[in-house]
Structure 1
Amino acid sequence: MCITLAALSVVGIPFLTAMVVSAAATVAVAVLIAITLLPALVGFARNRISPAGARGTARAAARRAGGEDGQHAPAGRATGAGLGERWGRFVTGRRVVVLLVAIPVLGALAWPANDLRLGMPDGSMAAPESTQRQAYELVAEGFGPGVNGPLMVAADVEGTDNPQRTVEELSGEISGLPNVAAVEPPVLDQQGATAMLTVIPATGPSSVETEDLVSDIRALGDTYAERGGTALWVTGQTAMNIDISGQLGDAMVPYLLIVVGLALVLLGVVFRSLLIPVTAAAGFLFTVGATFGAVVAVFQWGWLDWVFAVDETGPIISMMPIFLVGVLFGLAMDYQLFLGTRMREEYVHGAESNSAVVGGFRLGARVVTAAAVIMVSVFAGFIFSDEDMIKSMGFALAFGVLIDAFVVRMTIIPALMSVFGRATWWMPRLLARILPDADIEGERLTRNRSEPAPSGTPASEREEAAPVLYR
């Protein structure tokens, strides 16, 4: 999570950098507290951390699991299947059907994302009772929607023979462009080197037609620069929206290369597998596609707008895609680690591949479910905001966590692992030598204890070296 948040600084937008760096620092402090202060406090509590009845129940369950003679039960044996384990058996037992249902459903959810439009919020997207929204509507009704988002055009006319005539010609050509309601008289500075023109579009600042007008004016500026050296610059709310969206879009590829590359390396170290990191990253694409599709359908197309109380549909806020990718990718890899480490632990201690997947669900599913429910509840709280921008961010994060945790991590990925079988845990020898072996599950310890003791070893030491079956 720290990596995915801190890597958002590659976008180069100062306020976004400050926000993500502080968020990453908060996560780091929370982790530090969890591994230092929390264990210390638990140490003070000792056995009083849980009721006496619960401790007795846990000891009785341990005796049943290990048997009356105190021996551990064989790996993979169930001692009372819970909901998570039953779901794991269902997914692995009907893996092909699960994949044929889950993947097309996510594909259908992702389809509206083809129409994704990005922009920054304006007065039309504010709460209906806010003064900002009321002022926007009054101005649009009295003077036209374009007055709410005028375009400022600056022209460098210092090198021209007649700056005044050049500016008047430029104003006339801009007036002839489509979707121009008016062009105010140009203003020259005292030196006659710079001119400023105010262009009033015929449509609102967040409309597609206004974005096209910005592109047309900039193309006209390129033509003027080639002919006589006159350079044009366009600013204003719509122009800034286009530039910010372009900057965020250009930063998406390097950002993904950083976070996905580091995630693949870390998952490869943890799982000692090639397929698990690849499927984990690929599964995230399903999450992102379905989330963007749902956001477009609700907040851009207006589907189910009565359910989520969406007052005004329009473009999706420009920073949402890259911010959403960062937060969801960090949470997705957390959920992958919660489930995957339990599965690998079962596998390296002797469980068959499908049994390892089911065994990972036995305990890991509870952690993932609890973590996902907490995050969905927190993010869903923002849906009740009066601001559509905040509402859309909360909806996107809640929907993304819901899809990733329960459909991708707990359904599609386990089904794929069951299809691949033992190949799931395969890693090329060259890659295995390059990556460090963290041995989180204690595989080497179990392997060493399973080796026969040398002849002449005392009986007490031979007992210590005897194989220990993992439960």
Structure 2
Amino acid sequence: MGAWSARHRKTAVFGWILFVVLAAFLGGVHGSTTVTDSESMPGQVARAAQILDSAGIKTPAGETVLIQSGTQTADAPAFHAAVDQVVAAVNGSGKATDVRSPYDSRAISADRHSALVQFGMAGTQDDALKNVPAVLDAVAGVQKANPSLTVVEFGQASSNKWFQDQFTNDFASAEWTAVPLALGILLIAFGALVAAILPVGLALTAFIAAGGLVALSSGFLHTSNDASSVMLLVGLAVGVDYCLFYLRREREERAAGRDAATALQIAAATSGRAVLVSGVTVVVAMAGMFLTGIADFQAMSYATIVVVITAVIGSLTVLPALLSMLGDRVDKGRVPFLHKLKARPAAHAATGGRVWNTVLTPVLRHPLAAALLAGGLLLGLATPLLTMHTANLTFEQQLPKGNALVLTSQRIEAAFPGSPSPATVVVKATDITSPAMQRAIADFQSRALASGRMHGPIDVTVHAAQNVAVIDVPLDGSGNDATSTAALQTLRTDVVANTLLKVPGTEAPVTGDTAGSHDFNQQMTGSMLPVFGFVVAFAFLLMLASFRSLGIAVTAVVLNLLSVGAAYGVLALVFQHGVGASLIGTDGVGAVESWVPLFLFVILFGLSMDYHVFVVSRIKEAHDRGLTTQAAIGYGIRSTAGVVTSAAVIMVAVFAVFGTLSMQSMKQMGVGLAVAVLVDATVIRGVLLPSVMSLLGERNWYLPSWLGWLPDLSHTEAPAPAPAPAPVSDDTSWVRHVNA
């Protein structure tokens, strides 16, 4: 691929540009089809959404206005007048339906200092997002006219509107921060503007093209907003990394005296192959998310797979063509001071720098001690994962402390326990208006209140034409704590089972925030083992075929599991227990977002193979040229130290940007990825990998005879690379072998 691209430079470059433009244009024209409610959640929640969709029942987005006073009760004239003003203002906006005064619905707190005006937003969920600002403005006008009272709004539409706006702002912030950050790091790494722009430019064009392809194919595999952010995150990370690996190898060979064509062929045959193997590993790992059976995960998986494949194709085609076109002009735009630092003689290119050499020399001398020390450190970091609690974080947990909507929600929950996110029972019957069904609904209400775990008011909406009823039941608890889960279990296994389901031919799935969190968590827990097994097994087989070595395949899997475990431990420590949470502008919320651990596993298992494949490929390359295993390890680690460091710094920086965003789930994802990559590029690659390979010795290259049938993906044909230069180290016995 590299040779073809170098010979057909214009075809490769303009073909890539045409591909990106066409993909983006056609994707924009087609538009994106997003996942539906029934696809995005599992269990009874999905079934409830299917019943409502089939019946054509569009539940309006519910909104609530809290009127509260520390001194006046609902019976006071001024309080009553404020309630009437809210009702009039909401009706006057023309954007609301079924506006209910608390004096009619009896939505007045037990101490009579709080009351709720309840209503639904007109139109669809999308219409509600567009219309809710007008209602918020109307309510704000009543608050301004009644400064002695608290008049605030909270609900599905207002919270979704905040999430939508914040998601857009956060995504834009991440994009505008991560890209210049990556460019700045590459400028330091290369010391030249052109060389720094190439990886970022290729990564961004790969992201743009992949976005168009995902939109274009969203008709048969629906996408989501989360998929777009993940695609940017992973696309920028792998796109830059792949180009960095390729470009640094080509520059290294040129510095060693190779002509341009030969340097490009060596880069294609070595780093190009590492990019291909790494990309396939990421794709295999991400494919494991399809086993969750949840549409949001499938959307994220598909989007990531598309952007990785696009980045790999770009790295193996348009990058060689551009390098062939530019030649030594890739070093144009030199930054004087930085370029001097990078312009080291080729004889010192493999030293890895003083820091890496200082670390690696004692590791190779005392591999057992180094392995025990590094392994103990990672196991210690991973220990908190034993206490990890996962949950679908509530609205209050997702948002920053002090957020106005969070404070309003907390006020409502304190005055009306369970009201902000009640459970919803969707009843589908043969005849919803039959006497038996009416008695069952009445029994349901009585039994729910008698359980002591649910509260009034219980709202019942009957859709006679569709034989469907929707019952809203406030539950005890915060929404995803043990109290809420116990109340949900009582509702499902006792109240619903012994009332509504006693009527033949009746379905009554329970949905709502608490039910969604519980069912989603159950689905995640149930799919963990199949996903983990799939990813580990295929990654192992891929490493086995790529290096034809049982030891390297086993080592790759074990080391990756250690880095993932360390990331899990840090997540639990920071976000669940609150240790050091203030350093990243958050607080311990008592739980880790339920999808984050599984997502981190598949992403990290794929991305960490970037470094592993790149480093081990260089070690095997040196060993195949006749070096002993010990000498090959020293050469391979030192010669890739600069590239791995640069790539890791970029990845950590990009992921850390997501750790600064407002949404708790984005923070957790960003911090988890940043920590894992940092651990992977330092402790794993700098200490554990060389120490373990040193302990294994020649057994690193062992392949049992019964595995001889495996395809040989390790052979490449290219001009021999330049001899490995001597490192700055006391261990120079292998240099004589190379020189000889």
TM bin (shorter chain): 0.7 to 0.9
* Partner residue of 1:132 out of 384, 390, 405: 405
- 1:122 matched to 2:394? The reply is yes
- 1:241 matched to 2:513? The reply is no
C-alpha distance in 2 between matches for 1:425 and 1:375:
30
Could you say if the C-alpha distance between residues 231 and 354 of structure 1 is closer, same or farther in structure 2, counting changes exceeding 3 Å? same
TM superposition shift of 1:441: 8.2
CA contact (8 A) 1:5 1:23 kept: yes
- 1:163 matched to 2:437? The reply is yes
SS in 2 for 1:434: coil
Could you say if the C-alpha distance between residues 89 and 45 of structure 1 is closer, same or farther in structure 2, counting changes exceeding 3 Å? same
C-alpha distance in 1 between matches for 2:343 and 2:372:
40
CA contact (8 A) 2:352 2:641 kept: no
For residues 432-464 of structure 1, give each alpha carbon's deviation from its aligned partner in whole angstroms, at most 9, with x where no partner exists. Answer: 333325324879x99xxxxxxxxxxxxxxxxxx
C-alpha distance in 2 between matches for 1:27 and 1:320:
20
* Partner residue of 1:197 out of 461, 464, 471: 471
Report the equivalent of 2:633.
357
C-alpha distance in 2 between matches for 1:58 and 1:440:
30
- 1:313 matched to 2:589? The reply is yes
* Partner residue of 1:208 out of 482, 491, 509: 482
* Partner residue of 2:701 out of 393, 402, 425: 425
SS in 2 for 1:147: coil
Report the equivalent of 2:50.
none
Report the equivalent of 1:269.
545
CA contact (8 A) 1:88 1:357 kept: no
* Partner residue of 1:181 out of 435, 443, 455: 455
Report the equivalent of 2:294.
13
Alignment of 1:275-424 (within 5 A): 275-311=551-587, 313-424=589-700
CA contact (8 A) 2:637 2:690 kept: no
SS in 2 for 1:97: helix
C-alpha distance in 2 between matches for 1:102 and 1:59:
31
CA contact (8 A) 2:528 2:598 kept: yes
C-alpha distance in 2 between matches for 1:355 and 1:346:
8
Report the equivalent of 2:323.
42
SS in 1 for 2:508: strand
For residues 95-119 of structure 1, give each alpha carbon's deviation from its aligned partner in whole angstroms, at most 9, with x where no partner exists. Answer: 2222222222222222222232222
SS in 1 for 2:486: helix
Report the equivalent of 1:92.
364
Could you say if the C-alpha distance between residues 237 and 59 of structure 1 is closer, same or farther in structure 2, counting changes exceeding 3 Å? closer
Letter in 2 for 1:285: L
Count of paired positions: 434
Q: Which moved more, 1:405-414 or 1:226-235?
A: 226-235
For residues 298-352 of structure 1, give each alpha carbon's deviation from its aligned partner in whole angstroms, at most 9, with x where no partner exists. Answer: 1111111221221461432222122111211111111111111111112222222
| TM-score normalised by the chain length of structure 2 | 0.53
Q: Percent of aligned pairs with the same residue?
A: 28
Letter in 2 for 1:205: G
**Structure 1 vs Structure 2 CA RMSD:** 3.4
C-alpha distance in 2 between matches for 1:386 and 1:59:
43
Could you say if the C-alpha distance between residues 38 and 182 of structure 1 is closer, same or farther in structure 2, counting changes exceeding 3 Å? same
TM superposition shift of 1:397: 1.1
Could you say if the C-alpha distance between residues 287 and 212 of structure 1 is closer, same or farther in structure 2, counting changes exceeding 3 Å? farther
* Partner residue of 2:378 out of 106, 111, 116: 106
C-alpha distance in 1 between matches for 2:638 and 2:457:
69
CA contact (8 A) 1:158 1:192 kept: no
Higher relative contact order (CA 8 A, sep 6+): 1
Alignment of 1:434-449 (within 5 A): 434-440=710-716
Q: Which moved more, 1:189-198 or 1:207-216?
A: 189-198
Q: What 5-or-longer segments of structure 2 have no aligned partner?
A: 1-281, 722-736
C-alpha distance in 1 between matches for 2:500 and 2:704:
57
Could you say if the C-alpha distance between residues 155 and 84 of structure 1 is closer, same or farther in structure 2, counting changes exceeding 3 Å? same
* Partner residue of 2:532 out of 227, 235, 256: 256
Report the equivalent of 1:465.
none
Letter in 1 for 2:379: G
Could you say if the C-alpha distance between residues 195 and 442 of structure 1 is closer, same or farther in structure 2, counting changes exceeding 3 Å? same
Could you say if the C-alpha distance between residues 175 and 47 of structure 1 is closer, same or farther in structure 2, counting changes exceeding 3 Å? same
Could you say if the C-alpha distance between residues 312 and 199 of structure 1 is closer, same or farther in structure 2, counting changes exceeding 3 Å? farther
Could you say if the C-alpha distance between residues 18 and 231 of structure 1 is closer, same or farther in structure 2, counting changes exceeding 3 Å? closer
Could you say if the C-alpha distance between residues 366 and 176 of structure 1 is closer, same or farther in structure 2, counting changes exceeding 3 Å? farther
